[in-house]
Structure 1
Amino acid sequence: MRGRRQEREVLEGLVHAARAGRSAALVVHGEPGIGKSALLGVLADAPGCRVVRAAGVESQMELAFAGLHELCRPLLDGLDRLPEPQAHALGTAFGLRSGGPPDRFLIGLAALSLLADAAREQPLVCLVDDAQWLDQASVQALTFVARRLAAESVALVVAVRTGTAERPWAGLPRLAVRGLPDGEAGELLAFAVTGALDPRVRHRILAETHGNPLALLELPRLYSAAELAFGPQPGDVATLIGRMEEGFRRRLGLLPDPCRLLLAVAAAEPLGDVALLWRAAESLGVGPGAAGPAQEAGLMELRDTVRFRHPLVRSVAYRSATASARRAAHRALADATDPEQDPDRRAWHRAQAATGPDEAVAAELERCAGDALAHGGLAAAAAFLERAAVLTPDAAVRVRRELDAARALMNAGSFDAARDLLTVTAYEPPTALQRARLDVLRAQLEFASERGNEALPLLVAAARRLEPLDLELALDCHLDALTAALFAGRLAPGGGAAEVARAARRARMPARPRPGDLLLQAMAALYADGYVAAVPSLARAAAAFDDSDLSLEEGVRFLWLAAVVGNDLWDERAWDRMTDRHLRLVREAGALSALPLALNTRVFVDLFAGDLAAAAALVEEIGAVTEAVEAPLPPYGAVGLAAFRGREEEAAPLLAAALKESTARGAGIGVSLVHWAQAMLCNGLGRYREACQDGRLAAAHPEEMAVGTWGLAELIEAAVRAGERETAAAAVGQLTEMTRASGTDWALGVAARSEAQLLDGGAAEDRYREAIDRLGRTAVRTELARAQLLYGEWLRRAGRRLEARDQLRTAYDALTAMGVEAFAGRAHRELSATGETVRKRSDDTRHDLTAQELHIARLAAEGLTNPEIGAELFISPRTVEWHLRKVFAKLGISARRELRDVRGPTLSSPS
């Protein structure tokens, strides 16, 4: 701990905060040997705290939730105290319970709740070393926990090597561990060297080690007496880490053969299970005395667990063993592992022990892949399948497993790894169908990672190639192509959506179409024949997805698109149901690649319902999710939230960045969404000429669905106010043609509101009243409030001030309660113009509450308990309690029951 005073103060501050009831997470990063593990050791005996530990192991990175299980293992006696859904999810993830795939985020919440529960009795310190070698599922769960720690009396410290492994932990507080200062480095070197050291050689060692403590301790062991006196000989290992590894390799080489074999077994076994180690060693004929030389050399400790001096020792012990010794170690570990209690790890050891193709082992790995999927471990499933493919003797079966592994990687959001695997697979597909599947996966991977326009021609070509080989796969691929056309929109290459629709319509349909086949027919009709002609088939397709028992793959892959169809049909209740169902299915499957899309789609349901607090919570969640996915979507949900909120200073930079990103990706729908958002923002601010320009751009491409109709509504309002009545009339004609075909209250209400703006006298009033009546029957509360605002404005201009005040006050109160600030400001100005003195709600306590506090307060007012609120918002019950204390202070109340008595728009629900 020489020269580490500042680092120790930071770490000890975390423990002090945990004792005071404040949680924190810290990422300690630096190069190998720099002292990260030693610093974590400072907290291993934190006074007054309970300490739990875990460490990543390179050879076990593929086993889902292995790292999280190790950390939580000492706390599992509290599993039954968690809410049952959380207990079930965590138990299933750890293989303690049977069941379907758990929600990945529910697992994270369960882990957070488990830590919070343990910290109720005593502050909890969680130490995670070598996080660069944790399995992906554990990383995702722990980053979820780290970002939601608040008031649980938990300190989470994660040590990770500097480099690409740091990326999942981005945005968390960090502590960089650097080399020791020259003085302390010299002292440590003097401690390590027992004899005389030439000053020039000393200077060279200090310069080359850059203060790395492990290097300063180990390099003198590597050099001979002559080298210490005169300097290392030419041809030495070039890198510092290489030199340290070479030093450990030499020291291991001096140990007896039984000891080296025992070290190889220990290095291959990640749990540090001493009993398991000795069972495996016994089968190899290695007795208890074999550990002595390694312990005397300070390379390994055998206490309650097996511990190596440093991860480099573990790595060198494994890699320096002969291939036959490594296989023997894995074989012994497989034999010593209980096949009922830990089948995945047993299968993995068997695979590592295999000397060549072995279908029995490969089949066992494939079964483990299925179990991993059931536990939400897509990355683990991919690893099992990839290893199974290597051991598969039959070429066709091998390629099938490689393709399945690539799909699992893609769904897990590991796009680069999936690409690498497909590159290998491309050299050996033995059948036409598998070659076509390879092309499909490449195209889907391109689309999943970019959501732009480059995947579109690839998907069309792959679908055509599949048609004579596998009709169902071909139809699914055609639907993927239409989805890609929707995203590409105005930026689609070639003939765009119409060309894709023609190709899809040429495909043969099965006698008993699936929901996805109905959706394909409907989308093709929409793009080929237009909205009005397609409405009946769109309605059938939406109903099929809304009512049917879907397979997990159908739901994850296509349900969001059916939800978009529901929105395009102006059926807000089907839109609500299907977006909610899609989000739940995606979470259950742990399909991270689909989760950002599911969340972004759901945001707009909450926005149109006027629940901006819920939408803001989803946008916050999207930010956390996209950090775990290699290629996130443009910030569609955040763009929508900015449009509804109407805060120009916040919205302008976000919209500019989103427009730039969408254009670069070739995502035409993103371009249209930004223009719609800018039109809505400017309409709220009263800048109608700007709104007219953006509305025109948003509405110009109906193939982008939903957004185009939203754009028409904004264009009509802006054009009327800007004096461009011909533009408004043309837009009304387009809109009413669609809304009449739809026939829902939402559609007809918006049409009536739009038509009223071009009419005068009684005709205008009738249409405004119809709009308010129809929209009042719907769940789209923002549309209703805007209709009331427009009607109030019309009444004021007609000189009917008293009637105008009623409508404008109703609109103002609703828009303010929902947080639709720009339109609320417009309503305020109009009310003032009627002669009514209106106090702006800038002093309203609601604006003192954060989005999270407002959401929590509303849920508490509705009667939800702290655990129920925590489950909904993915935070711990203690954090809910902490937030409620702040809410009580801001609202000037002292009890939960008083939340129901808070007057005004502070906590009122838009529904």
Structure 2
Amino acid sequence: MLRGRRRESETIDALLRDARAGTSGVLVILGDPGIGKTALLRHAATADLHVLRTTGIEAEAELPFASLELLLRPALSRLDRIPERQAAALRGAFGLGPAGPGDRFLIGLAVLSLLSELAEDGPVLCLIDDAQWLDRASADALLIAARRLAAEGVAMLFAARPPFEAPGLPVLGLPGLDQAASAELLDSAGLPLTAESRQRILAEAAGNALALLELPKSRGTGDGLSPTARPEGDGPSLTARLEEAFAHQSDGLPAAARLALQVAAADGTGETAVVLAAVRALDGTPEDLDEVCAAGLIRPADGSRLEFRHPLVRAAVWQRTPLARRLAVHHALSQVLEGTADADRSVWHLAAATLTADEGVAARLESAAARAHDRSGYAAAAAAYERAAALSPSAGDRARRLTLAAEATEFSGRFDRARNLAEGAGDPGAELTSRLIRVRACSDYGEGRLQGAHAMLSAGVDHLTGTDPRSAAWLLLDAASMVWFDGDRDMAFRTAEQLDALDVPPDGDILPVHRLCRWFVALALGRPADGLPPLASVVESARALAGPDRRGLLLIGGLGLAELDARTHRLTLAATAAIRAEGRIGLLPQALTSLARVEYARGRYAEAHGLAGEAVTIARDTGQPAWARQATALLEELAAVRGEPLDPATAHPAALALLDLGQGRAEQALLGLESLVYGRARNRTPAMHLVPDLVEAALRSGRIARAAEPFARLEAWAATLDQGWADALVLRCRALLSTADAGADPRTGSSGPGTGSRASSRASGAGPEVWFRAALDAHDRPFDRARTGLLYGEWLRRARRTGDAQHHLRAALEVFEWLGAEPWAGRARAELGAAGWSAPRRADVDRFVRLTPQERQIVQLAAQGLSNRDIAAHLFLSPRTVGQHLYKAFPKLGVTARGQLAELSLDG
């Protein structure tokens, strides 16, 4: 047991016990330098688990996957046992094979699969020290894998200084040792200290274990330390005083040994052969390195490597190295590594040894950046491009390399930094300016700042309209899509003006894109789409031009707005499957959210829930908060349909209003819906979807007059859209408005005012019954149809037509129960009871409802004959986790064998 660390040791021991039992776990140990993080890792390493280790090294922060490769080196012989695309991505990341299209998420999944495979032979312990200095690519991959550990028997420990961001992972903060443990540790060193010196060190160390052991060594028994404890915040920090203590120890070495120590500090690899070669290049000898080891500042590790006694030793040595010596050391290391597998390290050392503009060095850095980009090391690529720009003699090359740095930074999700780089590139000409504008727009969009993104895109359109109308049209499509997302009328008017100003030839291949922009603007501003082909055909034509990228996905989503049919589902499903298969994980949140929306409209709520939940997780892992919010909003809608509680402080207002309406709080629902339907997004498609809810809430709360204006907008919007599902909603609203007419006859009703849409004109002069029947005929979305059936049945029951009412109420109840829409099912049961019909719950649906969304996804894939390994690759889990979910799902489904799954129907 470590001194003063009983609680922390027991926490780690529990994590290791769970790993032995097959349950994975992760812990992030946070604390100041010297507080005892590494000691806890050493304590964990004594357990009887297969131990993998790595350490973040500040000097290697720009080298992609350096720390990850060190961790996984002992397991690389098993790469052929994990899914091939993942294995290829990991080989490419480590330079063991050609660079592939795999992004950081796919590489993180490969780490998960490899650790899971290694754990087949027994529990695995991963120790990651100094995690705050991990290269960005390694950190991303490790955190992605850590968040998906479940039933593999893997324990993962990160030790880091704050701030180290590991969202979603448990954190163990390390305080200083208490007085008794501090005194015990100080005395264990066996150094002769006077009582005064002893007390002074205890006060200055403030419970820091490293300080208790190292400060007494600084010039004997405390000489050079303050005579009294410094008040907090007064004088150098404890870290600085520890570095000074280590510096005093290095200063006592002979000059040749100090040179060897400086080479080791600059190298970062820890490879003995590299350090010795550089020492020899500087006229040193192996004996100089031996002398450093004898002083205890560095020590051999794993046979072929060297490690510093503590990271602060490295920092102290390098900070006291004069500039001229630093340049010489970097140059020597660059020469030693030239022509080896560590060519990128060679380039970085050469760049560090270069103080003035040098095109040769800049070009080599640019090549290193391209290699890093191909290996999905986007943060490393950005750093190399930026340094290459700084060393570029030509202003044009500088701007081009800064543009590449900005693009790589935006791709890595560091939006603020990407924006700053783009702004610093100046005015480099038309092509680069367009790219830089897109970087700034994508950065704003990635942070959910749609107005800022729209402003950037509008500037790009102005820049390109006269010289490159084709590129301008594509930027306008991005701008128009943001108008649809945000609903801001000023943005819509600005985009409309630019559309009018853009000269697109009537036979130009970009014409479908221009027409789609006009459709988006027409819908956003509530204008007629005169002279335009049907939206569905325009979307399909534009989608064919876009290809399988973000714009292509956006257009598939647009097709979903236009019409819901088998084609929309097929396109979205195929796009999502292709993205999974190709490992283009950065596109998945958008694809999954679009597919989830389609499944939601089709009434496949469990599938929609699973897809949206996966989209949220991947969006957060890949730094896409805008898509995380959209997918979360869909999850909240699903929760509202099912009557699950929502947090009023964080949930989307539309979901809250739907929950209120379903649970009978009509006035509260009306207020919430009005805030959306009359807000800035009043003409957005989602806002129009809310108008039928508002009409119903207004009727139930006795305030039907408040539904008139929104309904008029819905009619005009539906007439523009000209789609059956929108017509059906208009017809339902017309029926409700007709029932509010006090003079309406229950059987024939009376005609209602206005015939704005084709739905209205089709049934002009009709009353509630005709409107309800027409709506039921037009509906193709199960939940919408069931709600109309419920409202129709309620009206029929009040008209004392109980037989007719029972027919429609039973049909509605069946759908609500299948969807798990309990509030609505409760209303249907109550109405059936009032109509004299007893409606028991359907027991045959319960077994499917009891499955979690992830269990349902896994069961469906298993029913198709996929193995656990194939399912794991498809859903980004480990095979062991898949097996655990199936083990839990079988009893819920009443099956005992995998073969029985194919006989089950999970549709609904």
> Do these two structures clear the TM 0.5 threshold for a shared fold by scoring above it?
yes
Partner SS state of residue 108, structure 1: helix
**1:307 corresponding residue in structure 2:** 307
Q: Does the CA contact (< 8 Å) of 1:201 and 1:230 recur in 2?
A: no
Q: Does the CA contact (< 8 Å) of 2:22 and 2:151 recur in 1?
A: yes
Q: Does the CA contact (< 8 Å) of 1:62 and 1:135 recur in 2?
A: yes
Partner SS state of residue 866, structure 2: coil
Distance 1:364 1:794, change over 3 A: farther
Partner SS state of residue 646, structure 1: helix
Compute the displacement of 1:528 (Å).
Answer: 6.1
Compute the displacement of 1:146 (Å).
Answer: 1.7
Distance 1:765 1:135, change over 3 A: farther
Letter in 1 for 2:501: R
**1:718 corresponding residue in structure 2:** 697
Partner SS state of residue 175, structure 1: strand
Letter in 2 for 1:381: A
Distance 1:799 1:135, change over 3 A: farther
Distance 1:378 1:127, change over 3 A: same
Matches within 5 A, 1:791-870: 791-797=792-798, 799=800, 801-802=802-803, 804-840=805-841, 844-846=846-848, 848-870=850-872
1 CA distance for matches of 2:657 and 2:832? 23
Compute the displacement of 1:444 (Å).
Answer: 4.7
Greater shift in the superposed pair: 73-82 or 679-688 = 679-688
Q: Does the CA contact (< 8 Å) of 2:666 and 2:697 recur in 1?
A: yes
**1:364 corresponding residue in structure 2:** 364
Compute the displacement of 1:238 (Å).
Answer: 1.0
**2:759 corresponding residue in structure 1:** none
Question: Residue 663 of structure 2: which of 671, 674, 685 is its match?
Answer: 685
2 CA distance for matches of 1:330 and 1:458? 42
Compute the displacement of 1:28 (Å).
Answer: 0.8
Letter in 1 for 2:112: L
Question: Residue 210 of structure 1: which of 203, 206, 209 is its match?
Answer: 206
Letter in 2 for 1:349: H
1 CA distance for matches of 2:295 and 2:156? 32
1 CA distance for matches of 2:501 and 2:156? 57
CA deviations over 1:194-217 (Å, ceiling 9, x no partner) = 2232x2332222112111111111
2 CA distance for matches of 1:434 and 1:204? 61
Distance 1:297 1:726, change over 3 A: same
CA deviations over 1:538-596 (Å, ceiling 9, x no partner) = 4454213432363x7xx22x345424532332345565466667767988999999776
Greater shift in the superposed pair: 223-232 or 446-455 = 223-232
Question: Residue 500 of structure 1: which of 490, 495, 498 is its match?
Answer: 495
Greater shift in the superposed pair: 460-469 or 250-259 = 460-469
Identical columns (%) = 37
**1:80 corresponding residue in structure 2:** 80
**1:129 corresponding residue in structure 2:** 129
Matches within 5 A, 1:560-575: 560-571=553-564
Partner SS state of residue 451, structure 2: coil
Question: Residue 546 of structure 1: which of 543, 548, 554 is its match?
Answer: 543
Partner SS state of residue 635, structure 1: helix
Compute the displacement of 1:152 (Å).
Answer: 0.6
Compute the displacement of 1:115 (Å).
Answer: 0.7
**2:37 corresponding residue in structure 1:** 36
Compute the displacement of 1:707 (Å).
Answer: 0.5
Q: Does the CA contact (< 8 Å) of 1:459 and 1:477 recur in 2?
A: yes
**1:880 corresponding residue in structure 2:** 882
Compute the displacement of 1:862 (Å).
Answer: 4.5
1 CA distance for matches of 2:696 and 2:607? 27
2 CA distance for matches of 1:245 and 1:302? 22
Matches within 5 A, 1:384-423: 384-422=384-422
TM-score (norm 2): 0.86
TM-score (norm 1): 0.86
**2:140 corresponding residue in structure 1:** 140
1 CA distance for matches of 2:246 and 2:322? 16
Letter in 2 for 1:137: A
Compute the displacement of 1:344 (Å).
Answer: 3.6
Distance 1:836 1:281, change over 3 A: farther
Q: Does the CA contact (< 8 Å) of 1:193 and 1:220 recur in 2?
A: no
Partner SS state of residue 356, structure 2: coil
**1:746 corresponding residue in structure 2:** 725
Question: Residue 647 of structure 2: which of 653, 672, 683 is its match?
Answer: 653
Q: Does 1:101 align with 2:101?
A: yes
Instruction: Give the gaps of 5 or more residues in structure 1.
Output: 659-673
2 CA distance for matches of 1:813 and 1:724? 31
Q: Does 1:641 align with 2:635?
A: yes
CA deviations over 1:773-817 (Å, ceiling 9, x no partner) = 5545xxx44334434444544554555545544543443333333
1 CA distance for matches of 2:356 and 2:429? 24
Partner SS state of residue 157, structure 1: strand
**2:187 corresponding residue in structure 1:** 190
Partner SS state of residue 46, structure 2: coil
Letter in 2 for 1:823: W
Q: Does the CA contact (< 8 Å) of 1:34 and 1:178 recur in 2?
A: yes
2 CA distance for matches of 1:765 and 1:336? 87
CA deviations over 1:511-549 (Å, ceiling 9, x no partner) = 542865554444345556725437527445421343236
Q: Does the CA contact (< 8 Å) of 2:38 and 2:159 recur in 1?
A: yes
Q: Does the CA contact (< 8 Å) of 1:433 and 1:469 recur in 2?
A: no
Q: Does 1:172 align with 2:165?
A: no
Partner SS state of residue 882, structure 2: helix
Greater shift in the superposed pair: 565-574 or 103-112 = 565-574
Compute the displacement of 1:450 (Å).
Answer: 3.5
1 CA distance for matches of 2:328 and 2:469? 47
Partner SS state of residue 548, structure 1: helix
**2:760 corresponding residue in structure 1:** none
Q: Does 1:676 align with 2:654?
A: yes
Q: Does 1:708 align with 2:709?
A: no
Root-mean-square deviation (Å): 3.8
CA deviations over 1:648-689 (Å, ceiling 9, x no partner) = 9855425x435xxxxxxxxxxxxxxx4433443233223344
Compute the displacement of 1:154 (Å).
Answer: 0.6
1 CA distance for matches of 2:169 and 2:481? 35
CA deviations over 1:221-268 (Å, ceiling 9, x no partner) = 224457279838999971111111112222222334443343334334
Q: Does the CA contact (< 8 Å) of 1:14 and 1:24 recur in 2?
A: yes
1 CA distance for matches of 2:566 and 2:685? 15
Compute the displacement of 1:412 (Å).
Answer: 2.0
Distance 1:889 1:561, change over 3 A: closer
Q: Does 1:221 align with 2:217?
A: yes
2 CA distance for matches of 1:589 and 1:861? 24
Q: Does 1:606 align with 2:603?
A: no
Distance 1:105 1:264, change over 3 A: same
Compute the displacement of 1:869 (Å).
Answer: 2.8
2 CA distance for matches of 1:857 and 1:3? 48
1 CA distance for matches of 2:486 and 2:666? 28
Compute the displacement of 1:694 (Å).
Answer: 3.7
Letter in 2 for 1:320: R
Distance 1:499 1:122, change over 3 A: same
Letter in 1 for 2:386: E
Partner SS state of residue 312, structure 2: helix
Compute the displacement of 1:388 (Å).
Answer: 1.2
Compute the displacement of 1:31 (Å).
Answer: 0.5
CA deviations over 1:5-27 (Å, ceiling 9, x no partner) = 22222212211111111111111
**1:200 corresponding residue in structure 2:** 196
1 CA distance for matches of 2:693 and 2:225? 81
Greater shift in the superposed pair: 376-385 or 597-606 = 597-606
2 CA distance for matches of 1:807 and 1:79? 58
Distance 1:191 1:534, change over 3 A: farther
Distance 1:487 1:743, change over 3 A: closer
Largest Rg, 1 or 2: 2
Q: Does 1:262 align with 2:260?
A: yes
Distance 1:3 1:336, change over 3 A: same
CA deviations over 1:731-760 (Å, ceiling 9, x no partner) = 555445444554444344444544454566
Distance 1:3 1:409, change over 3 A: same
Letter in 2 for 1:501: A
2 CA distance for matches of 1:441 and 1:95? 28
CA deviations over 1:680-705 (Å, ceiling 9, x no partner) = 32332233444444444434466653
Q: Does the CA contact (< 8 Å) of 1:412 and 1:590 recur in 2?
A: no
Letter in 1 for 2:4: G
Q: Does the CA contact (< 8 Å) of 1:60 and 1:270 recur in 2?
A: yes
Partner SS state of residue 11, structure 2: helix
Compute the displacement of 1:315 (Å).
Answer: 2.5
Partner SS state of residue 112, structure 1: helix
